[in-house]
Amino acid sequence: MAKRNKETQLQNNSPLADNVHIKGAGLVQNEVITDTLTGNYMPYAMSVILSRAIPEIDGFKPSHRKLLYTMYNMGLLQGSTIKSANIVGRTMQLNPHGDAAIYETMVRLSRGNESLLYPYVESKGNFGKAYSKNMMYAASRYTEAKLAPICHELFDDIKSDTVDFVDNYDNTMKEPTLLPVTFPSILCNVTTGIAVAMASSIASFNLKEICETTIALMKNPDHIISDTLIAPDFAGGGYIVYEKEELDKIYATGRGSVKVRAKYSYDKKYNCIDITEIPPTATSEAIIDRIIELVKTNKIKEINDVRDETDLTGLRITIDLKRGVDPQVFMAKMYKLTPLQDAFSCNFNILIKGRPVVLGVKGILLEWIDFRLGCVKRRITFNLDKKRKQLHLLKGLSKILLDIDKAIKIVRETESESEVIPNLMIGFGIDEVQAEYVAEIKLRHLNREYILKRIKDIEQLENEIADLESTLSSDSKMKKIIIKELETVSKKYDKGRKSEVIYDIDDSYEEETVQTADYPVTLFLSEQGYIKKIKTANLRMSGEQKIKEGDKMLPEIECSNKDELLFFTNQCKVYKSKADDFADTKASVLGEYVPAKLDMADGEQIVYMAVLSEYTGYMIFVFENGKLAKVDAGAYETKTNRKKLINAYSSKYPLAQAVYIKEDTDIVLCSSSGRRLLINTAAILPKATKDTQGISVMKLKKTHKIESVHLYKQGEFEKEWRFRAKNLPAAGAVLSETDIGEQMTF
């Protein structure tokens, strides 16, 4: 009995025993999945939208604001740069998302990275480049940073109660909800972000044009935006292709796209083109990769070489042209075929009072004006309260001037320190605040000269207070203050446009249709993947075909130079090419290595080459297990110029052989057991799916498999009926002695 009570006591002391006292613990409840999603996913989605990816009216996301405010508190508006690692560490007091995320934010805001038209961070060291994905930034312990001069426009008003402050994530510090920017920074720098079910993509505009547009809009709410705002302006420069209808759409709705072209110069001496500015959506590596791809597919034949010559002086992509190429015509072609011309998609989605809204330029500027009016009103109120308090103190001090000796006597004759303030209040008829101020005056300042100097400011303060009250009660006066600030910012920080606007352009380039010469050729493909194309007319004069040691030449194929070539590989892929893509050659050379020319993967080998004049007929795939798949050749035709198709045939079973037939015909399946099966492909229904598994056509024992397939030649078998089956699958027949003799001479 005692043992049982002890066990019960141990069970009750177990942590699991506590669950008995937790309401609902251990119970499985049925819940509607939509309620679960709403209760759990929606708060996450709203957090991402409101606190991560979408910028607010001051132009910043929370991560940007926390970083810049930390740098401001560190005194980095003046002085020299400090280590980035120091800044990152201090920022974690406001932003707990890790040093890597904070440093990446700093990198993008820096002048060295060249992401922003008006960078907020002055950088020292390697901060990478926005136009190159390979030019990575150095670690934070190696680089240095401080705030750029333009940040004065973000923080000069912040101590005048212009914006609200809230607790940081652990309630140990205060941080601003917005920054009191003195210009519409939201439209002066590119901002992109992807939230949940929504995104934001804001183009950058020239600071002077934005300030002029804002001023014009404050003076006239019906101002036409396009009269003062020409087009977006990007940090990377380039040419903006002016399309009035599209720009008006962006100005009105906040949605649309802007075409940006790369800027280039032609060096006549070296016959080369130097590209020095590219669209903001492109990188130098992407442009070069695309050019190389077009050269390999023979869509560009005017280039001798392309290389990246970017150095400390800036971006430069050099293209060496062939002799006689017109650079203007060539660049028109490049704009069409490469990212040298790209579109910046606009989606002006910003947070207005905690709510995501897509606005046009006019709508954003009106919201910013309203926001800035609020900041100015709060600043004036702050200064007004400050001056009123100062005036109140000076009026109390002026009463002391009437009898300084009396004030000294009251202080001297008061026995208790706590009675000094009440006695001064009674003696001079002043309130507690004024009495406290008088009592704190140093003994050396209790003279007529000091007091007279101080109370001289009373009249000036009264005039200033009256002026501030007048301004506070008039929106037009506050707008004049904002206009003056905008004019100052424009004059101080404008450095001209970086992106040049082009109006009349020749956009009529059409991709050249290359006429492929039509003449008979003979193709020679080896087992190891070397191909030779020899003109049939020259074949008589050719000697023995040269091949590598250990290689073997497959049967030759006569075709036209215009025919399509389909190379099926052992990885169930097909690579499409044309006979014209291979140069005419002769028997004494090895030929071109097809895997290298078509960029096949390592270890990928050609198992069959089909030659098609048009996409008619069928591809026959015979698998080692006796199955046969018949695929319509049209399944390999593509409307685009794709050169590689995956799942070209089924990968479920090992492939014995592939054969292309123009129309249904007799084929012979040969098994490892020595049996042959003669079937007509018309008995098999064609499939539109390339990787169909097919149907069983030949019965095989477990130890046997199909070894080869070939087209039937009339007279190949003495008794053809022996090998042709009425129903499939069939086992086929063994060759007779006569048939063996025929096979040997076939």
Give catalytic residues, as residue numbers: 142
Alpha helices (H) in 304-456, listed in sequence order: 327-337, 361-401, 404-413, 420-428, 432-439, 448-455
Backbone torsions φ then ψ of 341, nearest 5 degrees: -125, 125
Longest dimension (CA), the chain: 146
DSSP state of 50: I
SS3 533: strand
Place of tokens 């191909």: 531
Helix crossing, 361-401 with 448-455: angle to 10°? Answer: 150
d(CA 297, CA 560): 19
> 202, 194, 276, 192: which is closest to 232 by C-alpha?
202
d(CA 123, CA 574): 51
Backbone torsions φ then ψ of 443, nearest 5 degrees: -60, -35
CA atoms within 13 A on the CB side of 26: 7
Contacts 24+ apart (CB under 8 A), 140-145: 140/83, 140/84, 140/85, 140/88, 140/99, 140/103, 141/83, 141/84, 141/85, 143/83, 143/84, 144/81, 144/82, 144/83, 144/84, 145/71, 145/76, 145/81, 145/82, 145/84, 145/87, 145/106, 145/110, 145/121
SS3 130: coil
d(CA 312, CA 532): 47
162 token code pair: 């212009």
Question: What is the rounded (10 degree) CA torsion for 416, 420, 423, 427?
Answer: 140
CA distance to 91, 185, 707, per residue, from 150 (Å) = 20, 10, 77
> 687, 688, 658: which is closest to 568 by C-alpha?
658
> 578, 582, 583: which is closest to 563 by C-alpha?
578
Burial of residue 518 (CB within 10 Å: 0-12, 13-18, 19+) is: exposed
